[in-house]
Structure 1
C-alpha cells in the first residue's frame, strides 16, 4: 500500500471514528468502512487504489446528514442519498488532494462515490457490488426484522438490479436466501 493511500485511509478512519452512533462497540461509520474494505479485498482482490479508497470512504461522516433533515417518502429519500453521495465524494476527494493524488484519480473516486456511470464503468459497478454484499452480509437481517414482507421483497429486487450479473450469481452461491428472495438474483 502506498504512503499516500495509507494517509487517505487513515484520514477516513479518523473522520469516521467521530461517529456518535455505535455498532458492535465501535463507531458505526468506522465499522462500515472496515467492512467495505474487507469485502472489497475478498471480492475484488486486484482493486485499484482509487477503488479501495472509494470503498473505505463510501459512508464517510454519514451521520452528519440525517435522513430526518429531508422530506418523508421516496423523493426525500432519494434527495438524501444523492446529497450523501456528493458529500462523501467531496470529503474523500479533499483528503486525496491533500495526500498528493492527481486530478484524474481524485475525479475517479468522486464519480464512484456519486455512483455516476453505474453499469457502464467497471469500478463504479464493482463498488456498487461491494456495497450490496456488505448490506446483505451485515445489515439485511436487522433491516428485515423491522419491515413488512412486501417491503423486503422490493428492497431485495432493487438491490439485485444494482448488481452486476457476476455479483448476482455469487450472491446465490454465498447466501442462503428463501426462494422468493433468491429469484431476484437469478441472471
Structure 2
C-alpha cells in the first residue's frame, strides 16, 4: 500500500494523541496505550482486507477511536438511549479531533470532510468506503476484542451482538470473518448466531 509523507505524518500525530490514553494493554509482551494498539490493528486489518483503499480510508482507519477515553461511557445514562447518545457524540468528537490534526498536516478540505463522513459512518451499506470501514471495524472487534468481551455476557446476549455485527458487514467482510483465528468457543457462538 503506497504511503505519502502526509499520511505518515498524520499517522504519527494520531498515534501521539492516542499515546495519552491512560488505559494500557499488553500484547505480545509489549505494553501499549489501548487506543494506539487499536489504531495499529485497524491499519493492519485494512491493509490485508482492502490493500487498495484510498488515502481517506487509510486515515480514517488510523483515527477511528482517536482520544476515545476523553468521553467516557459512564458520563451518559447507562441505558440504550445513553449508549446511542454516547456513540453519536463520539463520532462527532473523533471527526473534529481528526480534522484538527489533518489540517495541521496540510490536507485539503475535501479529504478532511471525507474522513469526517467515514468516521460518522454515513451511508452504511450504500457507500463503498463506509462499508469497507465498517467491515474492518467488525473484523478487528471479532479477532481481538470479542473473546474478552464474551466473558462478561450471557450466551443469548453474545449471539444477539454477533447477529447485529454480521448484519453490518458486507459479503466480503463476512467471508473474511469466517477465516479469522477465533477460539473454538467463539467459533461455536458464531455458528449459533448464523443459524438464528
- Shorter-chain TM-score range: over 0.9
**Superposition map of 1:65-104 within 5 A:** 65-104=71-110
2:54 is equivalent to residue 52 of structure 1: no
Unaligned runs of 5+ in 1: none
**Superposition map of 1:10-25 within 5 A:** 10-24=12-26, 25=31
Distance in 2 of aligned mates of 1:125 and 1:62: 22
Distance in 2 of aligned mates of 1:171 and 1:6: 28
| CA deviation string 1:46-68 (max 9, x = no partner) | 11111011000000000000000
Q: CA deviation at 1:173?
A: 3.2
Distance in 2 of aligned mates of 1:67 and 1:50: 28
Is residue 57–residue 88 contact of structure 1 (8 Å, CA) maintained in 2? yes
Is residue 123–residue 130 contact of structure 2 (8 Å, CA) maintained in 1? yes
- Structure 2 residue aligned with 1:30, among 13, 36, 53? 36
Aligned residue number for residue 161 of structure 1: 167
Distance in 2 of aligned mates of 1:171 and 1:38: 15
Distance in 2 of aligned mates of 1:104 and 1:65: 27
Is residue 99–residue 112 contact of structure 2 (8 Å, CA) maintained in 1? yes
Aligned residue number for residue 182 of structure 1: 191
Q: CA deviation at 1:174?
A: 3.1
Is residue 24–residue 34 contact of structure 2 (8 Å, CA) maintained in 1? yes
Task: Tell me the TM-score normalised to structure 1 length.
Answer: 0.94
SS in 2 for 1:93: helix
Going from structure 1 to structure 2, the CA distance change for 1:173 and 1:95 (only over 3 Å counts) comes to same
Is residue 8–residue 53 contact of structure 1 (8 Å, CA) maintained in 2? yes
Unaligned runs of 5+ in 2: none
Going from structure 1 to structure 2, the CA distance change for 1:95 and 1:57 (only over 3 Å counts) comes to same
CA RMSD of aligned residues (A): 1.5
Paired residues in the alignment total 186
- Structure 1 residue aligned with 2:133, among 121, 127, 136? 127
- Structure 1 residue aligned with 2:145, among 127, 139, 142? 139
Is residue 4–residue 100 contact of structure 1 (8 Å, CA) maintained in 2? yes
